[in-house]
Amino acid sequence: MGRVAGLAGVSVRTLHHYDEIGLVRPSTRTAAGYRAYAADDVERLREVLAYRRLGFGLREIAELVGDPCADAVAHLHRLRGLLLERRDRADAMVAAIDRELASRAKGLTVTPEEQLQMLGARLYDAIGGAYTATRRTDPRIAEQIWDALGDARTVLNVGAGTGSYEPADRQVTAVEPSAVMRGQRPAGAAPCVAAAAENLPFDDRSFDAAMAVSTVHHWGDPMAGLRELRRVARRVVVLTFDTDEPGWQDRFWLTRDYLPEFASVLAGFPSLTGMADAIGARAQPVPVPWDCADGLFEAYWRRPVAYLEDHVRRAASVWTRVGLQTEQRAVQSLGDDLESGRWAERNGDLADLDAADLGLRLLVA
Ligand SMILES: C[S@@+](CC[C@H](N)C(=O)[O-])C[C@H]1O[C@@H](n2cnc3c(N)ncnc32)[C@H](O)[C@@H]1O
């Protein structure tokens, strides 16, 4: 067992665990009577570890390697496809790093301490270069937002970023205070005004609707910003986060088991009820699809290995706001649990879900 562990680059403990749960069992014995791996066992271990490195849970792997219809060639084809997907993600990461290098060359560098103190546009001027690596429109979330806009023809998108959720079939005006984010808006995107939510340079009721997506928690004064949205538009649609429910930190395994510091990032953030009251809104849950195309903090709840990737974390501000040491500790601990199978044991039930309610809420007024 020790020799196979050394050759395979895993711990003996991991092999013991695979043996205990019947995933890979040493099926022969040495002359001295010790249990040993036959060639077929090693082949199976190779497949298990390949799927493991691609982020599959132990339960899924057991099904994959136990599939009587899949021979070694079928496994290799499947693995090849998964690796190509990973290569695409790596290409996106290189592109994000290039963008960040370009931002830094323009003098937009900050110390980690400064990063932690940063809020709002300053934060996004520092980290925004990494945004487009994973942040894009998720069609299911978009549909919910666009439905909520009703028949609005003119729409103000506040904290617009790169414009992920701007509807193409309405007349949109964007508001975005960060120059780095404005600079990444695609050619042909809606016109964008450099301003902050708390002080919108528009007359009362000048838009049919105002929307704000994944941005309110970055505003210096969320309530003042929401009142501004209410002032300039007849309808208001805000995608935000619910911290009212007791034990909300436990809704998501990432904050429950690895990053409890998330709660301090949201300390001082207004209650959902308070925000809803400020604009006269009702709240609807926004489930996060298991394959969410927008790499928001909660997006990878069923694809945990994604959180080990730097470009994924760099595109969600929470990771910068908790600080480097906390981030490293959380990632190390998650990596260990993914490797040992502990994460899969604790969260095996998620594999059957297509979407999860992790606290995202749409306020519609
Ligand atoms: C997570 S991004 C969301 C961007 C976009 N709405 C989306 O869904 O992709 C948050 C954005 O809020 C912007 N922001 C920060 N402070 C703001 C403020 N006071 N008023 C308006 N926008 C702000 C940031 O610059 C950043 O672009």
Distance 178 CA to ligand 1 centre (A): 8
Write down the pLDDT at residue 114.
46
Residue 107 in this model has a pLDDT that exceeds 50: yes
Distance 222 CA to ligand 1 centre (A): 12
The amino acid present at 320, given as its one-letter code, is T
Q: State the average pLDDT for the chain.
A: 88
User: Region 351-358: what's the mean pLDDT?
Assistant: 95
Ligand 1 atom, smallest distance to 213 CA: 6
Distance 354 CA to ligand 1 centre (A): 28
Q: pLDDT band at residue 330, thresholds of 50, 70 and 90? A: very high
Model confidence pLDDT, tens digit, residues 177-212: 988 888 888 888 999 999 999 999 999 999 999 999
Model confidence pLDDT, tens digit, residues 238-260: 999 999 988 899 999 999 999 99
Write down the pLDDT at residue 356.
97
Q: How are beta strands 233-241 and 360-364 bridged, if at all?
A: antiparallel
Distance CA 113, CA 116 (A): 5
Write down the pLDDT at residue 258.
96
Distance 88 CA to ligand 1 centre (A): 27
Is 165 touching ligand 1 by the criterion CB < 6 Å? yes
The reported pTM is: 0.70
Model confidence pLDDT, tens digit, residues 129-185: 888 889 999 999 999 999 999 999 999 999 999 999 999 999 999 999 988 888 888
Q: pLDDT band at residue 93, thresholds of 50, 70 and 90? A: low
Domain 2-72 matching CATH 1.10.1660.10: the answer reads yes
Distance CA 235, CA 145 (A): 12
Every domain of the chain and the residues it spans: 2-72, 120-364
Q: Give the architecture (CATH level 2) of 120-364.
A: 3-Layer(aba) Sandwich (3.40)
Is 163 touching ligand 1 by the criterion CB < 6 Å? no
Is 295 touching ligand 1 by the criterion CB < 6 Å? no
Write down the pLDDT at residue 282.
96
Say whether 120-364 and 2-72 share the same fold.
Answer: no
Write down the pLDDT at residue 85.
67
Residue 116 in this model has a pLDDT that exceeds 50: no
Residue 21 or residue 76, greater confidence: 21
Is 197 touching ligand 1 by the criterion CB < 6 Å? yes
Model confidence pLDDT, tens digit, residues 1-11: 888 998 888 89
Q: 3-class secondary structure for the chain? A: CHHHHHHHCCCHHHHHHHHHCCCCCCCEECCCCCEECCHHHHHHHHHHHHHHHCCCCHHHHHHHHHCCCCCHHHHHHHHHHHHHHHHHHHHHHHHHHHHHHHHHHCCCCCCHHHHHHCCHHHHHHHHHHHHHHCCCCCHHHHHHHHHHCCCCCEEEEECCCCCCCCCCCCEEEEECCCHHHHCCCCCCCCCEECCCHHHCCCCCCCEEEEEEECCHHHCCCHHHHHHHHHHHEEEEEEEEECCCCCCHHHCCHHHHHHCCCHHHHCCCCCCHHHHHHHHCCEEEECCEECCCCCCCCCCCCCCHHHHHCHHHHHCCCHHHHHCHHHHHHHHHHHHHHHHHCHHHHHHHHHHHCCEECCCEEEEEC
Residue 274 in this model has a pLDDT that exceeds 50: yes
Distance 15 CA to ligand 1 centre (A): 46
Residue 115 in this model has a pLDDT that exceeds 50: no
Percent of the chain whose predicted confidence (pLDDT) is above 70: 90
User: Region 286-309: what's the mean pLDDT?
Assistant: 97
Percent of the chain whose predicted confidence (pLDDT) is above 90: 61
